[in-house]
Amino acid sequence: MLKNFKQLSLIFLIATLFTACSVKEPIVVPKESDIVELSKKANDNFINQNKATNDYFIKYFKPWDSSKVSYPKIEAMWGQSYKYKKVYLENHKLASAEWFDKQITNSNFDEYNVVPKKAIMLKNANVRVLPTNSPMFYDPTQPGEGFPFDYNQNSLIKINTPIIVSHLSKDKAWAYMESSIVGGWVEINSIAFVDEDFIKEFKNSNYYVSVKEKFPIYDPIFREYVKVATIFPKKNNKYIIAKKDDNQKAKIAYIDLNEDEIEAMPIAYTSENRVKILNQLLDEPYGWGGLLNNRDCSSFTQDFFVPFGKYLHRNSKSQISNGKYLDMSKMDINEKKDFIKKNGVPFSTLVYLKGHIMLYAGIKDNEPLVIHNVWSVRLKDSSGRKYRNIIGKATITTLEPGKDLKDFDEDNNILRKVLGITIL
């Protein structure tokens, strides 16, 4: 009995210690209801929406107006460089040279752009760096590595997206493709090949955009959970999607959508609509590269603007070229804060630091606020041990999230790392 008591006591002590170590102070964030008041103060005329929307659809359909994938072959093969890094697989074991050789051989780049074909996405799909669903992690024992940071995940691509396919993998399970925003490998069962008749019917200039997040569509059985910023052509009160026949050829299909799920694109850039779209995006779990049908920082900013007709590139660094970039890299923290307050245009400005991008929302209590999908805040305890406070979702914060935490690491202050802003 005494032995059992000692064992139970030891278990209780260990559990108590681990619980104490895992307790994290909550990060104080502004109320999300503040977005309503901030949006009311924003300029409703930041872009010519009709012109922007025309430009958006020129880019959206560019793969169907192209004769081949645009990337030079060596650029398309960039993912093979991971072979020379320490990469861990799903079992947290190091990927061997033989594993990489298998992926590289299967990539079949001897066939790159030999017989390119136009196609369309039949569902939301992961765009992979190498033609495999195996994840690639850096050392998963380190803070900020391991799940969700799968470096084989390039992006998520939405249902109904036009693409052009360069070639198939040797096992014919994957297609190397390019869309208007991203290139990489998608599973073959996620696409169908289009002909000119299909393209003509799909490109009908009557385009609608989803304004609700992750609602189901049926054809007649379940097809997909649709994300905000998904495009649907409309014809005779029905909405167009693609089906495939037994030869993987795309056929036009029609579905019904509810009025609260879809609107003609572009929707008006009003305070009410800004809040409506943000309410769909806020609190969505963080998804590196769109992992698990979620968003990362740059897909958050990208999808916020699509319903309004504004095109943004896919990654954070590229997005700073979508407007007028103002460099802040030589400023100190106080100068940066003052500069953003003076020059930032609420809901029309992107705040950039290496590897991350945020939407500027305006000023509350003399603090500039941003909306972003963010994984974590970096912390450091008194012994120098680095760890993370996980946010893991789209939220509104100051430019210094975590500043009130006991172990806040000033060297990793987001505001300190801000390099510039882009006025769209």
CATH numbers and ranges of domains, the chain: 25-46+269-423 (3.90.1720.10), 50-264 (no CATH)
Number of other CB atoms surrounding residue 164 within 10 Å: 24
The answer for residues whose C-beta is within 8 angstroms of residue 303's C-beta and 6 or more apart is 227, 228, 229, 281, 295
- Residue 27: the pLDDT is 60
Q: What is the DSSP letter of 183?
A: E
- Residue 31: the pLDDT is 75
Q: Find out whether 30 and 395 touch, Cβ atoms under 8 Å.
A: no
Q: What is the DSSP letter of 94?
A: B
Q: Rounded to an integer, what distance in angstroms lies between the CA atom of residue 95 and that of residue 87?
A: 6
Extended strands (E) in 132-188:
153-157, 162-168, 174-178, 183-187
- Residue 97: the pLDDT is 97
- Residue 34: the pLDDT is 87
- Residue 30: the pLDDT is 74
**How many helices (DSSP H) and strands (DSSP E) are in the chain?**
11, 20
The answer for residues whose C-beta is within 8 angstroms of residue 110's C-beta and 6 or more apart is none
Q: Rounded to an integer, what distance in angstroms lies between the CA atom of residue 64 and that of residue 295?
A: 26
Three-state DSSP state, 395: strand
Tens of pLDDT along the chain (424 residues)? Answer: 444 433 444 333 333 333 333 334 446 567 778 899 999 989 888 789 999 999 999 999 999 999 999 999 999 999 999 999 999 999 999 999 999 999 999 999 999 999 999 999 999 999 999 999 999 999 999 999 999 999 999 999 999 999 999 999 999 999 999 999 999 999 999 999 999 999 999 999 999 999 999 999 999 999 999 999 999 999 999 999 999 999 999 999 999 999 999 999 999 999 999 999 999 999 999 999 999 999 999 999 999 999 999 999 999 999 999 999 999 999 999 999 999 999 999 999 999 999 999 999 999 999 999 999 999 999 999 999 999 999 999 999 999 999 989 999 999 999 999 999 999 9
Is residue 229 classed exposed, middle or buried when 0-12, 13-18 and 19+ CB atoms within 10 A define those classes? buried
- Residue 11: the pLDDT is 38
Closest CA to 217 of 249, 269, 253, 186: 253
Q: What does pTM read for this prediction?
A: 0.92
- Residue 417: the pLDDT is 97
